[in-house]
Every structure is written in structure tokens, then in C-alpha cells.
Amino acid sequence: MNQARLMQQMRKMQQEMSKAQEDLANTIVTGVAAGNAVTVEMTADYRVKRVTVSKGTVDPQDVETLEDLIVVAFNDALQKARAASEARMGSLTGGLTIPGLS
């Protein structure tokens, strides 16, 4: 393989990676806890967009439960974002793990 062709392939892969990262930034996943009592919306590039707590979930006498539900919803969203990222980037890297891309 000549050097010019290799450079062309590298540019193409770089463009595809940029597009994939843009797609992930626009992909929203939702983590939930306690049947949607708490929801966390996050992009697949791990930016939290919104946290929603249903009114019935708020009990001033039991803040610890609310805190636990927020953690559960956040971790659920994080797992979904990670799966979306791995699926999208894996299609470009052929399953290779490239540091900083997932």
C-alpha cells in the first residue's frame, strides 16, 4: 500500500470518527429509577442534560431515598450512554479499543 493511499484512508477514518462523535453528542439516553420516579437524560458522550424527579418522590423527611434514586437513574443513563458509544465507535474501529474514544 502506498503512502498516499494510506493517508487518504486515515483522513476518511478521521472524518468518520468525527461524525460518530457528533452523533454521540446528539444521542440522548434516559436512565430511570423506581418506575420513572427519577429520570436522568444524558448524551451518549456523557453530558447530563436533565434530571427529573416526580413530585411524589420528594419527601423532606427521607432525603436519603431520593439521593439513592438519583444515583440509580444516573448509573442507568451512564450504562446506556456507554453502550451507545461502544456500539457506534465499535462499528468504526472493528472492535478495537482505542483510548479516549469510548
Domains, the chain, ordered by start: 3-91 (3.30.1310.10)
Q: What is the structure's pLDDT at 90?
A: 80
pLDDT at position 93 is: 65
pTM of the model: 0.78
Q: Is the pLDDT of residue 67 over 90?
A: yes
Mean local confidence (pLDDT), 39-50: 96
Long-range contacts of 92-100 (CB under 8 A, 24+ apart): 92/13, 92/16, 92/17, 92/20
- Determine the Cα–Cα distance for residues 84 and 10; give it in Å rounded to an integer: 24
- CB-based burial label for 90 (10 Å; 0-12, 13-18, 19+): middle
For the segment 30-56, the average pLDDT, to the nearest whole number, is 96
Give the distance between the most distant pair of CA atoms in the chain: 70
